[in-house]
Chains A and B, each alone.
Chain A
Amino acid sequence: MSDFSCLVVEDSPMMRQLVVFALGRLKNLSVTEADDGVDGLRKLASASYDIILTDINMPIMDGLKLIQRVRTDPKHKDTPIVVITTEGGKEDRERALRLGANAYITKPIQAPKVIATVKSLINID
């Protein structure tokens, strides 16, 4: 059984596959996937996660709204959140961090960077 759990919220199946592949390098981490913000909230309601990775631009509920909801939920308010997005602007980054994101990665992603970011936020080998 894994020591750590992670929720990946991303509408693109291809990106999800890539992020899951990258996180697969961390042996003690189990990964749960969600298609969008609403699906992410649904999964957060039924389980706790050590870290959340989310895209910003998603249908139904975007990543920023998801961050807001997570930060106001006492159960998950301290869970680290990593944003993975194509939005590389300074304002986008600042907005996400202001809402409560802990790290901000721009696409296209590199697996080593994703791994290093997750490692820096949770104590995992």
Chain B
Amino acid sequence: MTDPTKPAARPSDAPGTDLNEELKNLTRGAVGTRRLMAEHKQLLSRVGSLEEENARLRAAVEAEDAIRELLGKIETLEQEKNALLRDFRAAEAKTSGFDTRFAELEAELSQLANLFVANNCLHSTLSLRAVGRRVTEVLEQLIGVAAYVLYISDPQTEALKEVSKFGLSADEDSATALSVAEDVIRSGKARITGSSDTSQGTLANPAALLPLVVDEQTVGLICIVRTLDHKDRFATVDFELFRLLGQHMGLALMGAGLYSQADRKLPAPAAFSGMNR
């Protein structure tokens, strides 16, 4: 018989059975929890790898952007470099042009100085001997003449006569040049060697024949027989000096000659009285 004071035993309260069941449940829970923990761990690991992957990809994209940016900068710099090079070349060409022009101006200035000095020398004396000496200086020092003959017209016969010579050897006859200078004397126009070596000239084939002209009349002749050995052609300034000699030397010689004939007396002021008329 059943004790009424005691509560009726529930099936779960049955000793052994409930405890076992509970243990089983706990065990199942623990297994599940362990499985969940393992899965969670795996998932965390997976998230970590994905985050790493993501970071790597982001870095790669950023690097590509940086490279693209750098490439852009390089291209811009290349363009700037090319522009600078273009400017530099243009400036260089301009500078080179200035240098060339400067050298030309220096040479022209030098030529003008030669002409000024030669002219100054020719006209700064009224002595025939001094004029002759200065002509020699102009020819030798400024042009580089090794041998020359100066002829002056005789007013009586109008024939040219040798008055001065320099650098000729004993067997060279200065009259030879007159025979080859007839057309120069007649026309009053200089004859200057073009292509041949001026240092190898002879009286029969002189380097230059320069008529001395006063009022369109040939009053003398300079025969430049040859130039110095180290000078085998005439320079630009020489042609200007030839023109100067042709135009001014005759005048200088005539002035000195007249002064000499007047017993080296300067003209009185009365001689200039008609100047303003």
Residues of chain A whose beta carbon lies under 8 Å from any beta carbon of chain B: 12-15, 17-18, 21-22, 86, 88-89, 106-108, 110-112
Contacts and interface: CB of A to CB of B under 8 A. Distances in A.
From A12, A14, A21, A110, residue with most partner B Cβ within 10 Å: A14
A88 B229 contact: yes
B110 A108 contact: no
Interface string B220-246: 000000001111000100000000000
Contact of A14 (B110, B138, B229, B230): B138
A88 B231 CA distance: 9
B202 interface: no
A112 B110 contact: yes
A82 B79 CA distance: 52
B114 interface: yes
Interface string B137-172: 110111110000000000000000000000000000
Nearest to B146: A86
B103 A112 contact: yes
Nearest to A107: B141
Contacts of B144: 86, 107-108
A14 B138 CA distance: 8
A1 B185 CA distance: 54
A14 B122 CA distance: 10
A102 to B, nearest CB: 20
27 contacts: A12-B137, A13-B121, A14-B121, A14-B137, A15-B137, A18-B114, A18-B141, A18-B142, A21-B113, A22-B110, A86-B140, A86-B144, A88-B229, A88-B231, A106-B230, A107-B141, A108-B114, A108-B143, A108-B144, A108-B231, A108-B235, A111-B106, A111-B109, A111-B110, A111-B113, A112-B106, A112-B107
Interface in B87-115: 103, 106-107, 109-110, 113-114
Interface string B110-130: 100110011011000000000
Contacts of A107: 140-141, 144, 228
Contacts of B113: 18, 21-22, 111
Contacts of B140: 86, 107
A110 B142 CA distance: 9
Contacts of B231: 88, 108
- Contact-size category for B: 20 to 34
B124 to A, nearest CB: 9
A80 to B, nearest CB: 22
Nearest to A21: B113
B200 to A, nearest CB: 15
A47 B121 CA distance: 30
Contacts of A106: 228, 230
Given A21-B113, A108-B142, A14 B106 contact: no
Nearest to B121: A14
A86 B141 contact: yes
A35 to B, nearest CB: 14
A15 B110 contact: no
A13 B107 CA distance: 22
A86 B230 CA distance: 9
B141 A89 contact: no
B127 to A, nearest CB: 14
Contacts of B110: 22, 110-112
A103 B253 CA distance: 38
Contacts of B109: 111
Given A88-B230, A110-B107, A15 B121 contact: no
Interface in B222-275: 228-231, 235
From B107, B114, B118, residue with most partner A Cβ within 10 Å: B114
Contacts of A21: 113, 117
A54 to B, nearest CB: 14
